[in-house]
Copies of this chain bind each other. A is one copy, B any other.
Amino acid sequence: MIKIYRQYTEFKRRENNDNLEEKRQRVLEIIQQVRMNGDKALLAFTKEFDHVELSSLRVPVEEIEQADQKEDSAFVSALKEAAEKIRSFHQKQKRESWFSTEEDGTILGQKVTPMDRVGIYVPGGTAAYPSSVLMNAIPAQVAGVKEIVMVTPPNRDGKVNPHVLLAAKILGIDEVYAVGGAQAVAALAYGTETIKPVDKIVGPGNIFVALAKREVFGQVGIDMIAGPSEIAIVADENANPIYLAADLLSQAEHDPMASSVLWTTSESLAEAVQLEVEKQLQQLPRERIARESIENYGGIIVVESLEEAFKQVNQMAPEHLEVMVEQPFAWLPKIKHAGAIFLGTYSSEPVGDYFAGPNHVLPTSGTARFSSPLNVDDFIKKSSIIAYSKEALFEHGKKIITLAEKEGLHAHGKAIAVRLEGER
Which residues of A come within 8 Å of B, CB atoms? 74-75, 77-79, 81-82, 89, 92-93, 98, 100, 106-108, 110-111, 113, 115-116, 126, 129-131, 163, 199-200, 214, 217-218, 220-221, 224-225, 240, 242-243, 246-247, 249-250, 252-254, 280, 283-286, 290, 328-329, 332, 335-359, 362-363, 365, 367-373, 375, 377, 381-390, 392-393, 396, 399-400, 402-404, 406-419, 422
Contacts and interface: CB of A to CB of B under 8 A. Distances in A.
Nearest to A85: B396
Contact of A108 (B225, B290, B349, B357): B357
A225 B218 contact: yes
Nearest to A408: B126
B242 A418 contact: yes
21 contacts: A75-B402, A78-B400, A78-B402, A92-B100, A93-B110, A214-B217, A218-B225, A218-B365, A220-B370, A221-B371, A286-B410, A339-B384, A342-B386, A342-B388, A343-B386, A343-B387, A349-B412, A355-B399, A358-B384, A362-B384, A373-B382
A323 to B, nearest CB: 9
A350 B404 contact: yes
Contact of A348 (B111, B199, B220, B415): B415
A403 B354 contact: yes
Given A113-B336, A346-B419, A79 B403 contact: yes
A116 B369 contact: yes
A151 to B, nearest CB: 17
Copies of this protein in the assembly total 2
A315 B392 CA distance: 32
Given A131-B407, A385-B343, A242 B422 contact: yes
A404 B251 CA distance: 12
B108 A412 contact: no
A418 B246 contact: yes
For the complex of A and B, list the 9 residue pairs with the smallest distance between their C-beta atoms, beginning with the closest. A358-B384, A221-B370, A78-B399, A343-B387, A246-B415, A253-B411, A340-B384, A372-B382, A350-B412
B163 A406 contact: yes
Given A131-B403, A356-B388, A400-B351, A253 B409 contact: yes
A416 B335 contact: no
A253 B410 contact: yes
Given A392-B346, A393-B351, A111 B332 contact: yes
A356 B79 CA distance: 49
A131 B218 CA distance: 25
A155 B120 CA distance: 47
Contact of A353 (B98, B254, B399, B404): B404
Contacts of A404: 350, 353-354
Given A78-B403, A383-B368, A385-B343, A356 B115 contact: no
Nearest to A340: B384
A419 B81 CA distance: 21
